[in-house]
Amino acid sequence: MEESHVHKKLALTAAVDVIAGNANLLYEILLCLPARSLIRFSIVCKLWFSIITSMQFRLSHCRTLAFSNALPLSGIYFYNCLTNLQKIESLALADNVTSLPPLQFLDQFNLSIGSADEVTEFKVTQSCNGLLMCIFTARSHVGTIKRGIVYNPANKEVLLLPTPYKKYDGCICYNLISDPSEPPYYKALCVTRLGGWYSNIDVSVYVPGSNSWRSSCRVAAHDMCYDSGVFWNGAIHWIGEFSSVYFDVNSEKVATISMPPRPQGYCSEKIRYFGEWGGHLYLIQVQSLYAKKFNVLELDKDTWKWSVKYRVHLARLISAFPEMVQQTSSGIQYAISILSVIRREKEEDSVLLLTIPGKVVAYNLVRKTAKVVRELPGEVANTLHFNHVSAYQYTESLFPVQKWNIIPK
């Protein structure tokens, strides 16, 4: 009996050795593992390291997950308060993820400030399929520099994008498009206003491996902010209070989308959320800051029309968390920020992820129940300052961001 057990153990060991030493077989097995595991396994031996860190494997891994619809959403990064852009919080949403990688990437650049009177700002502005777009701004008596930075929190890879302009005039916005299903896999966009606020805009494209930006198209300006687009259905979408436009990745043309009717009521900024989840694009508009009811709208991929997906009434939530109620000079307002619409496989599990003073709350869109999922450290200074670009999804990915000499097939 003991001898049989020894033989089985030896056979198993031999099988493991065969797999570990067979690069082709190992390659196919490693493709099925999540990014977090692969990062740890890259230190097992030289063979594993060479496979996992190769450009071809990393792109194949991203494509495999994309085609199988298995891109795991690990969590959300969000700003606790928009008045303190150096402090960003995180919230893990996957069952097998306890925490997200800390965003301590500023030190990696070792950027030279240049003079003592410069003030630097560093902010996450967008997320797309595991990559973050960040903006670095430095101001001094001699001028202002605004640079885009592509960052992968999973493997801590960073790419400081080249300067797309000769002189910065304050009207520069960066965006990110990453799609592992087809080359060139990711692009960076720079949107520049050619004059004043209502002048035309120029959209330039940067592709990894190149040394400069390429002017793509020039279009009439729209009354919206271009610094935090949402990638959905093969295009990056920008939204304003009265209009919405998108930049198609393949044709590199800008087109408009009809906006749904604005809710009646006195409130200049009615958009409280605009984002994507699981292939669905959502929009939330409110009548006012003291509105208890609002609708969650979804854009149809075929008709490009907005329709009501969920109806939300916050009466129960306000009753359970009276700290949401704030008395202001304009009357009673509710301190609430919408981080994300989370659509689950089972409709009854879909939730609205919210922040209220001191807490992150998951509000079930079907059952109309609420659950505290995170206590926020310290005090949230005026939650009403939150807007629809304060939260960014995070997906574990081996997506490469460094300059590429060759794009693997």
Q: Quick one: pLDDT at residue 197?
A: 58
Mean pLDDT of 65-83: 70
pLDDT in tens, 138-183: 776 666 778 888 999 888 888 888 887 765 555 678 899 888 777 7
**Is the pLDDT assigned to residue 85 strictly greater than 60?**
no
How would you class 237 by CB atoms within 10 Å of its CB: exposed for 0-12, middle for 13-18, buried for 19 or more?
buried
Rounded to 5 degrees, φ, ψ at 185 are: 75, -45
pLDDT in tens, 354-390: 888 888 899 999 998 999 988 876 655 444 445 555 7
Q: Are residues 57 and 38 in the same domain?
A: yes
Contact 405, 209 (CB under 8 A): yes
Q: Are residues 300 and 378 in the same domain?
A: yes
Q: Distance between CA atoms of 239 and 65, rounded to whole angstroms? A: 29
Q: Are residues 103 and 238 in the same domain?
A: yes
In a domain, residue 270? The reply is no
Q: Are residues 226 and 374 in the same domain?
A: no
Q: Are residues 289 and 380 in the same domain?
A: yes
In a domain, residue 267? The reply is no
Q: Are residues 82 and 230 in the same domain?
A: yes
Q: Are residues 215 and 309 in the same domain?
A: no
Q: Are residues 398 and 354 in the same domain?
A: no
pLDDT in tens, 28-69: 888 888 888 888 888 888 888 888 888 888 888 887 776 665
Q: Distance between CA atoms of 201 and 187, rounded to whole angstroms? A: 18
| Domain count across the chain | 3
Q: Are residues 58 and 80 in the same domain?
A: no
In a domain, residue 355? The reply is yes
In a domain, residue 268? The reply is no
Q: Quick one: pLDDT at residue 132?
A: 92
Residues of the domain holding 119: 72-259+389-409
Q: pTM of the predicted model, to two decimals?
A: 0.83
HEC profile of 151-201:
EECCCCEEEECCCCCCCCCCCEEEEEEECCCCCCCEEEEEEEECCCCCCCE
Q: Are residues 241 and 337 in the same domain?
A: no
pLDDT in tens, 116-141: 446 567 788 899 888 999 888 777 66
User: Average pLDDT, whole number, for the chain?
Assistant: 78
Structure tokens of 217? 């198209």
Helix (H, G, I), strand (E, B) or coil at 79: strand
Q: Distance between CA atoms of 12 and 21, rounded to whole angstroms? A: 14
In a domain, residue 265? The reply is no
Count CB-CB contacts under 10 A for residue 265.
13
In a domain, residue 266? The reply is no
In a domain, residue 151? The reply is yes
Tell me the pLDDT band of 115, cut-offs 50, 70 and 90.
very low
Over its C-alpha atoms, the chain yields an Rg (Å, rounded) of 23
In a domain, residue 182? The reply is yes
Q: Quick one: pLDDT at residue 142?
A: 65
Mean pLDDT of 300-315: 91
Q: Are residues 295 and 255 in the same domain?
A: no
Q: Are residues 219 and 122 in the same domain?
A: yes
What burial letters (b/e) apply to 17-36, b meaning 16+ CB within 10 Å?
eeeeeeeeebbeebeeebbb
Angle between helices 55-67 and 23-30 (to 10 degrees): 40
At which of 66, 85, 111 does a domain end? 66
Tell me the pLDDT band of 260, cut-offs 50, 70 and 90.
confident
Q: Distance between CA atoms of 242 and 221, rounded to whole angstroms? A: 13
